[in-house]
Amino acid sequence: MDLVEVHFAAANKTVFVQPGTTLLAAATLAGVDWPTGCTRGMCGTDAATVVTSAPDALDAPAEPERGTLDRMGLPTGCRLLCSARVRRGAVAVQGDAVG
Ligand code: FES
């Protein structure tokens, strides 16, 4: 199984993780201290703008992530790091989508 590249732009750190890994777990592996709260897709503390190498580089948002993104009014391309799971290719986490 091919690893997925995850780059954290603000920290300029990159890790390679197994498909199915959350972006928050990737941040921890990369040594990036990303703000979190509930870690269950409910609070939105860890929202970030994410750029992917392909449309299916991440699993599509499921509940409760989908509902939280909608409630916060965040644009397409924003994900909750605790909930977004990588699938293939490369993912770049650009920065905090809220602040
Ligand atoms: S930490 Fe609460 S939504 Fe991710």
Pocket of ligand 1 (CB under 6 A): 36-39, 41-46, 68, 80, 82
Q: pLDDT digit string (tens) for 37-58? A: 999 999 999 999 999 999 999 9
- C-alpha 33/C-alpha 61 separation (Å) is 23
pLDDT band at 99 (very low <50, low <70, confident <90, very high): very low
The strand pairing partners of 58, in sequence order, are 86
What pLDDT, on a 0 to 100 scale, did the predictor assign at position 1?
74
Strand 47-52 relative to strand 4-8, pairing: unpaired
48 three-state secondary structure: strand
Atom of ligand 1 nearest to the CA of 81: 4
Sketch out the chain's domains with CATH numbers. 4-96 (3.10.20.30)
Q: Is the pLDDT of residue 97 over 70?
A: no
